[in-house]
Amino acid sequence: MAVIFRLFILMGIAIFFAKTLNKLFSRPLRAQPVNKSKNLDPYFVLGIPRDATAEEIKLAYKKALSEYHPDKVAHLGKGLQELAAIRTQEIVSAYTALSR
């Protein structure tokens, strides 16, 4: 009986980790498709309101950059690396536009 109980516990842990990994890797890197014209709203790119302070802009920039930096996804494959590089460029250009 104890063996069956332990088996159920291990299965529950495995299911929890499978669901967590599925959520992690199935979420999109972008909130909208890649826009080649670079007419993205910098506030949208950084995920901040239009009345954000300079400190909030800086914090949002650092958070977004740490999440999408190409070095963070180097192990996930070429496709995700390219998306991360594009997203990083968008984040940097949004921060540059807002910090002027």
Q: Which residue has the tokens 């996930």?
A: 76
DSSP letter for each residue of 21-37: HHHHHHS-S-SS---TT
User: Can you give the residue range of the structural domain that contains 39?
Assistant: 31-98
Q: Determine the pLDDT at residue 40.
A: 83
* Confidence band of 33 (pLDDT split at 50, 70, 90): very low
- Domains of the chain: total: 1
Using one digit for the tens of pLDDT, what is the confidence trace for 3-20? 665 655 666 665 655 565
* Distance, CA of 64 to CA of 25 (rounded, Å): 17
CA torsion sign for 66, 67, 68, 74 is positive
Q: Determine the pLDDT at residue 31.
A: 47
Q: Determine the pLDDT at residue 73.
A: 81
* Assigned domain for 54 exists: yes
Q: What is the CATH number of the domain that holds 67?
A: 1.10.287.110
Using one digit for the tens of pLDDT, what is the confidence trace for 47-97? 999 999 999 999 999 999 998 888 888 888 888 888 888 999 999 999 999
